[in-house]
Every structure is written in structure tokens, then in C-alpha cells.
Amino acid sequence: MGKAVGIIGGGYAGLCAAAHLAIAGHRVTVFEAETQLCTHSSGRNAAMFRHLEPTPALVRAAQRSRAIVDGWCGDRSWLAPRGALYVADRPSALAPFVAAARAAGLRVDERTGPAVAAGQPWAQGGARGQGLFVPDDGVMDIHAMQAAARAVAKAHGARFLMHTRALEVTARAGRVDGVRAGTEQVPADIVVNAAGAWAGPLCAPLGAPLPLAPLRRHLVLLAVGPGVSRPDGPALWALDDDECYVRPEGRGVLASPGDEAVSAPCLPVPDPDALDALAVRLARLAPGLAEARVQRHWACLRTFAADRQPVLGPDPRVPGLFVLAGLGGHGMTLGAALGADLAASVDGAAVEPAWATARLTRKGGLSAVA
């Protein structure tokens, strides 16, 4: 007999958790404060499917996600396999990524010197001497992915309560027993905190705050005119201190200055200074885009734990409370696999130790947010 599971948050994390939990036979209710699913980070991100991560477990999670989303979508049409070229000044900046890729069996092509920019017209004249090409990276159709996850969840009986903010996770005798939303009390054996930027304070009244920081980041849509190389080919991503990336988007280019500013949970207002920061970083990363014109820019939040690993599984402080949060800058890539791990943990499976919530309460564990 499945359990009654309330999931707070209808972003991609909550959707993936809902799909896996419903498949496993649980009775799932998703609470989403907005009138549409995936209104916040899950609908406003760069849509890059990036396998390259600093630990083998995260690389494997990307590989697992790809297989799961293939199944939910019925084919691979959700992912345009453009490849991605990661660049840095020093080999040490790329070394952990190379090691993790090799351990996880991910195809990567290491490059140095003039070969770094081969096949990437925007990078010609760029200053970085180290490169790593990942042929299997690509651009996601995030709307198709979200629709597929939702359809799977619904087909297995999940219900979605839209425009319904969860006001409180309730407990009886120290154990979770439901979710209060407006005047309604929805009973639940299990509650999953998948509230994205709102996840940190959500369960503080129960004695279970999460040490997470929402960090604002900008995205900028650039129009490329005559004299600028055609937007084609792989994404280009500088991984050192002045992080910055660009990728083709329709007839233009999507770029980010790689900025990070601590924010309250909200829909952030874009800061025009981000455009100056982008111009400086682009001049070094992709001199070929110097003349590109800004069409539109926006900002949204990436939410991190201090160690920048996901936070996943049962919260040891409150029986019945589970977490799927801290998905940072890769929640669209990793969401399907992390949702599977969350669902497995509800049924008693162990969680990857680096992601487990136990590190929240361990002495010397996560206390501050970077």
C-alpha cells in the first residue's frame, strides 16, 4: 500500500519526485504556489544539459537523468546534442572534471593551446589555454521535459494543486502528518520539501531549517548581426574565476556573465550592471561576439548548500520529512535522477552520502552557506 506523499514545489525537482513516487505506487499531491508549474528557476534557466561535474556521482546522475528523460519523452528529441567546450587558464581548474569524467566513463576530449578553439568560431582569439570538449552535452527542450514528467506523474495518479501555497508542514508527536494550505489540512505520511529557493526556511517552524542560499544569476539574449559568426556549434563555458558562458539560441546567442549574488527567495529583478560584467567577460571568452547586441535579459535563482552538493533524502530531525533541494546550477540536468533517488529513499534506500541530509546535522557538517 503506497504512502500519502505531499510534495511542496512544482518546479522540475518536485515534478520529477512526483513522477518517480507515483510510479512507485505512492499517492502523490503536489502543492504549487504559482498558477503554472515551473514558473521560477525551472522555467527561466539556460537549458544546457551538462554532464561535466566535479564528482563521479554527479556525472553519473547526469547520465542516469538522460536515460530517464528519454523514457519519459519516448525518444531523444528533447536534447539537441551540440556538445560543449569548457575552457580555463590553468589545467588545475579542469583536473577534477577530467578525473570525474574518466571515473564515470564520460567521453571527453582534452585540448591545449591553439587546438582549444578548434571548431568554435566565437572562441577564436580567446585567451584560455586549456580546453575540454564534451560531445554528449547539449541543449534541452525544458518545456517538453516538464510536460513529460507531469504526464507520467498524472498517469500514475498524482494530483497537482495549483495556486496553492503550502503554509505549514504539520506534525503530530514529532512526526509529519500533513500540509496546511489555506484553510485546508491535507493529510500526508511523508512530505517532500522541493521548494527551490524557498526550501531553506520552509520547515524552520518544525525545527528543520535548511542552510541553503539562493544566488541570483543573469541570462542575456544577444542578437548577432552581419560580421558575427553564425550561431552554431557547441556551447562555450569558461570554468575559472571569471565564469561566463554562451550557447546558440535560435538566430542569436544566450549568454551569462556567471554572476552570483545572495538573494531572498523571490522572482529577482534584473540588474543592468550584469550587462557590463558580461561585456568584460565575453571580450575574453568569445571575442567574436564583441559586436552582438543585447535583446533581452533576465535573472533567476540558483539555490546551493555550502558544499554545492544536492540535499536529498530523509531529514533526520523530523520523521516523515524529506528534502529534494539545493539543485544549484544543474537541476534541469540532474532532476530526473535525483527525483529517482528521492523516491527510492522514501522506500528506505540509502542516499549518496555526499548528498544526504545527515550532513546538515553532523558535527562539523553544513552550517554556513558559501
Ligand X SMILES: Cc1cc2nc3c(=O)[nH]c(=O)nc-3n(C[C@H](O)[C@H](O)[C@H](O)COP(=O)(O)OP(=O)(O)OC[C@H]3O[C@@H](n4cnc5c(N)ncnc54)[C@H](O)[C@@H]3O)c2cc1C
Positions in the binding site for ligand X (CB under 6 A)? 8-14, 31-34, 38-42, 45-48, 165-166, 194-198, 202, 217, 219, 256, 300-302, 327-333
**257: which 3 cell numbers?**
556573465
Shortest distance in whole angstroms from residue 363 CB to ligand X = 28
**130: which 3 cell numbers?**
586549456
Task: Give the residue from 204, 208, 268, 233 showing the smallest Cα distance to 122.
Answer: 233
Judged by beta carbon, residue 116 or residue 191, the one nearer ligand X is 191
Collapsing DSSP to helix, strand or coil, 126 comes out as coil
Judged by beta carbon, residue 114 or residue 272, the one nearer ligand X is 272
What does the alpha-carbon distance between residue 339 and residue 345 come to, in Å, rounded to a whole number? 10
**307: which 3 cell numbers?**
558544499
What does the alpha-carbon distance between residue 131 and residue 91 come to, in Å, rounded to a whole number? 9
DSSP letter at 365 equals: S
Task: Give the residue from 177, 245, 210, 248 showing the smallest Cα distance to 358.
Answer: 210
Collapsing DSSP to helix, strand or coil, 138 comes out as strand
Shortest distance in whole angstroms from residue 285 CB to ligand X = 16
Shortest distance in whole angstroms from residue 114 CB to ligand X = 28
**175: which 3 cell numbers?**
512526526
Sign of CA dihedral 171, 172, 175, 179: negative
Judged by beta carbon, residue 29 or residue 42, the one nearer ligand X is 42
What does the alpha-carbon distance between residue 14 and residue 159 come to, in Å, rounded to a whole number? 12
Beta strand pairing status for 130-134 and 109-112?
Answer: antiparallel
Shortest distance in whole angstroms from residue 310 CB to ligand X = 9
Judged by beta carbon, residue 38 or residue 158, the one nearer ligand X is 38
Judged by beta carbon, residue 103 or residue 162, the one nearer ligand X is 162
For 34, 47, 191, the CA distances from 350, given in Å and listed in that order, are: 33, 30, 18
Please check whether residue 179 is in contact with residue 189, taking contact to mean a CB–CB distance below 8 angstroms.
no
What does the alpha-carbon distance between residue 132 and residue 110 come to, in Å, rounded to a whole number? 5
Judged by beta carbon, residue 129 or residue 154, the one nearer ligand X is 154
Q: How many CA atoms lie within 13 Å of 30's alpha carbon, on the beta-carbon side? A: 31
Judged by beta carbon, residue 129 or residue 270, the one nearer ligand X is 270
Judged by beta carbon, residue 7 or residue 117, the one nearer ligand X is 7
What does the alpha-carbon distance between residue 4 and residue 323 come to, in Å, rounded to a whole number? 16
**237: which 3 cell numbers?**
563555458
Judged by beta carbon, residue 220 or residue 356, the one nearer ligand X is 220
Shortest distance in whole angstroms from residue 291 CB to ligand X = 24
Judged by beta carbon, residue 90 or residue 296, the one nearer ligand X is 296
Shortest distance in whole angstroms from residue 303 CB to ligand X = 7
Shortest distance in whole angstroms from residue 121 CB to ligand X = 21
247 pairs with which residues across the strands? 254
**360: which 3 cell numbers?**
546538515
What does the alpha-carbon distance between residue 185 and residue 223 come to, in Å, rounded to a whole number? 50
